Structure 1
Amino acid sequence: MRIGIVCPYSWDVPGGVQFHVRDLAEHLHRLGHEVSVLAPSDDETPLPPYVVSAGRAVPVPYNGSVARLNFGFLSAARVRRWVHDGRFDVLHIHEPATPSLALLTCWAAQGPIVATFHTSNPRSRAMIAAYPILQPALEKISARIAVSEYARRTFVEHLGGDAVVIPNGVDVDFFARAEPKAEWQGGTIGFIGRIDEPRKGLPVLMKALPRILESLPGTRLLVAGRGDEEEAVEYLPEHVRERVEFLGMVSDEDKARLLRSVDLYVAPNTGGESFGIILVEAMSSGAPVLASDLDAFAQVLDGGEAGELFPNEDADALADAAVRLLSDPERRERLREYGSRHVRRFDWSTVGADILAVYETVTDGAAAVAPDERIGLRARFGLARD
């Protein structure tokens, strides 16, 4: 099958959607499909052979963060050329409701379109205001996927229709077989995310750190991600700062090694999360997880069975839970065991098969399905009506 995938966000800036698109493309390629990905990128960014650059992106505030998007006349021309030259059996567009390559592709495409919605924002004024503009493009979509129930809810409330829920995928074995790193072991807490993006919650963790160190003075916090490191610790006492180690941006391999090494992974995110891919990666690595009780996080962690939850933005509760877990190796081991079993549902072997089932349903081959069976498939995948 010839598959075209559109990534709306800049390829050179790490993010959950970019990682999802990359891993999906590589999974499909390993299965023997021809895959091309269209994404924004800077000229100097090295790209995998399956990625086609749509040009430089610009930063745009979006969903409590800053997204790097590509939109305009030049981008539209590149989209049309890519769609024409690709002769794809199916186009898979991510975040088509953003002013990006995804929306431009909806306008340009003629064949079957599958769309994945990642955003969880039930009160998006921008999406409500943009609906009249989006509607003609979105009506061309053949099938809709949401990465979580909360992303599905956002889609239904703002755009109507329905979507099948297929979670983000992870190569579970890649994380499970990573080798721990000795210098990252021994009383360590891990955090991975953009330091200067408040909704990732690092300030909450920093506020909790002095209280953690009062009980467990040998604890270290390992922080991986880009941002202003000095600003992140400026309000901490000097003796607490000494227990924070910034690792900067890390490779996928080192991310897996970090997660395999820490005694506890903390996800203190404060909102705007529709899934929580880092939680799945942590569980895949065998790291016990402590996360804020966002709805999406609670769902990924099986209601708190696969990882512990603390009240969102409550630094004292975070500190108490972290101290309790770091002091209880048996509880951490139970979380590891449960998480390692639970996480298999997010492996690409499962997620990829579900996505391929959607592709196959919307391509010409689906026309051969008996009418009553086709109705059932359409209901399952949130397909557009004939």
Structure 2
Amino acid sequence: MRIGLVCPYSFDAFGGVQLHVRDLAEELIRRGHEVSVLAPAEDGTPVPDYVVPSGRSVPIPYNGSVARLNFGPVVGGRVRRWVDQGGFDLLHLHEPFIPSLSMLALWVADGPVVGTFHTSMERSRALRAISPVVVPMLEKITGRIAVSAEARRTLVQHLGGDAVVVPNGVYVDRFATAEPDPRWTGEPGRPTVAFLGRLDEPRKGLPILAEAVDDVLRAVPGARFLIAGRGEAAEERTLLARHGEAVRFLGGISDEEKARLFRSADVYVAPQTGGESFGIVLVEAMSAGALVVAADLPAFQAVLDGGTAGRLFRRGDAASLARTLVDVLTDPERARPVRSRGQEVVRRYDWSAVTTRILDVYDMVVTTARTPVREDPRSRTVYGRLRAAAGERPWA
């Protein structure tokens, strides 16, 4: 099968959606499919051979973070050429209603289309504002996937329709077999606690963790905190500087270093305050054998099987986080079954299982389609795009 994947977010700065698209593409290629990925990326950005860069992105604040998107008439022309020349049996669009490449591809293409929805949010004025235009376009997406129950809830609540839940994937064995790093490995009486996330995104929860450190170190004086991720976080650095070597800021780390960090740490902490639809980093940490302590967000509760595969604390409550960390660090025997359960749970998220479920959706969509992917003739004019948004078929 020849598959076109579209990523709306830039490959210049990787996040969860970009990693999902990259890993899915590589697993599909490994299984013998032909794959082309269209994604924002600047000319000098190193990308895999299967990625077609669409040009420079624009940073836009979105859902408590910054999304790097790609849009405009020039980009639209690139999308049109990619669709027209691709000869795809199927298009798989990620976040198709974010104003970027996936939405442009949905306008341009007609035929077998799968859409994956990654976002979770409580309220969205932007989605409410654009829903009269984008909701009719749902008809062009014949197979809909949500990466979690929370992402599905957001789709149903804001745009209507429904989706099958297929989670994000992880190459479990890459984390399980990573080599621990002696600099980060815990010892008896000196356990290590790891955090990874954008330091300057408040929703990633670094301020919550920073507030909890004092109480943890009073109870476990030998504990060490390893904080990885890009961003300044000047206030948190100043607050934590008095703890000396007990707190280390590692800066940005590579995928290989991430796996080694998770293999080395006793505990991975996820203090996020909201805006999470899944929690792929929790699965990665569990795959490496770390015990996960996470905020009780609905998405995190789902990944941790309601707390049987990890420990949960009250979202935004530094005292609750500190108590939970002290509990798992001072009683490792009690925490052992939770850690073991986490290593069992992650197998359901391995790409070998996730890709099979995605291919089941592909087969359903292709089997019921009339033709392969082709250019939607309405997309060449403003009037035609309005007709497409109104849900009229190309032959109408």
TM-score above 0.5: yes
Equivalent positions of 1:350-365 (< 5 A) are 350-364=353-367
Look up the match of 1:198. 202
Using the alignment, how far apart are the partners of 2:148 and 2:334 within structure 1? 28
Using the alignment, how far apart are the partners of 1:115 and 1:365 within structure 2? 16
Look up the match of 1:375. none
Asked if 1 retains the 8 angstrom alpha-carbon contact of 2:112 and 2:369, the reply is: no
Structure 2 residue aligned with 1:267, among 248, 263, 270?
A: 270
Letter in 2 for 1:298: Q
Q: CA deviation at 1:239?
A: 2.7
Q: Deviations over 1:320-353 (max 9, x none)?
A: 1101101112133222211111111111111100
TM-score (norm 2): 0.90
Asked if 2 retains the 8 angstrom alpha-carbon contact of 1:229 and 1:246, the reply is: no
Moved more, 220-229 or 287-296: 220-229
- Residue 297 of structure 1 aligns to a residue whose secondary structure is helix
Look up the match of 1:43. 43
Look up the match of 2:179. 179
Q: CA deviation at 1:365?
A: 6.5
Equivalent positions of 1:98-247 (< 5 A) are 98-186=98-186, 187-236=191-240, 238-247=241-250
Structure 1 runs, 4 residues or longer, greater than 6 Å off: none
Letter in 2 for 1:288: L
Letter in 1 for 2:65: S
- Residue 228 of structure 1 aligns to a residue whose secondary structure is coil
Moved more, 106-115 or 134-143: 134-143
Q: CA deviation at 1:37?
A: 0.5
Q: CA deviation at 1:232?
A: 2.8
TM-score (norm 1): 0.93
Look up the match of 2:312. 309
Letter in 1 for 2:127: M
Look up the match of 2:67. 67
Query: Within the alignment, does 1:83 sit opposite 2:87 as a pair?
Result: no
Using the alignment, how far apart are the partners of 1:12 and 1:326 within structure 2? 38
- Residue 182 of structure 1 aligns to a residue whose secondary structure is coil
Asked if 2 retains the 8 angstrom alpha-carbon contact of 1:233 and 1:241, the reply is: no
Asked if 2 retains the 8 angstrom alpha-carbon contact of 1:259 and 1:287, the reply is: yes
- Residue 212 of structure 2 aligns to a residue whose secondary structure is helix
Change (3 A) 1:200 1:283: same
Look up the match of 1:377. none
The alignment of Structure 1 onto Structure 2 pairs a total of residues equal to: 368
Using the alignment, how far apart are the partners of 2:51 and 2:286 within structure 1? 29
Look up the match of 1:32. 32
Asked if 2 retains the 8 angstrom alpha-carbon contact of 1:106 and 1:138, the reply is: no
Using the alignment, how far apart are the partners of 2:62 and 2:307 within structure 1? 29
Q: Deviations over 1:269-299 (max 9, x none)?
A: 0000000000100111110000000000000
Share of identical aligned residues, percent?
Answer: 61
Using the alignment, how far apart are the partners of 2:155 and 2:176 within structure 1? 34
Higher relative contact order (CA 8 A, sep 6+): 2
Asked if 2 retains the 8 angstrom alpha-carbon contact of 1:360 and 1:366, the reply is: no
Q: CA deviation at 1:198?
A: 0.5
Unmatched tracts of structure 2, length 5 or more: 371-390
Look up the match of 2:94. 94
Look up the match of 2:55. 55
Q: CA deviation at 1:132?
A: 1.6
Asked if 1 retains the 8 angstrom alpha-carbon contact of 2:135 and 2:160, the reply is: no
Letter in 1 for 2:341: Y
Using the alignment, how far apart are the partners of 1:339 and 1:364 within structure 2? 37
Asked if 2 retains the 8 angstrom alpha-carbon contact of 1:9 and 1:69, the reply is: yes
Asked if 2 retains the 8 angstrom alpha-carbon contact of 1:96 and 1:138, the reply is: no
Letter in 2 for 1:132: P
Q: CA deviation at 1:229?
A: 4.7
Query: Within the alignment, does 1:290 sit opposite 2:277 as a pair?
Result: no
Asked if 2 retains the 8 angstrom alpha-carbon contact of 1:117 and 1:147, the reply is: yes
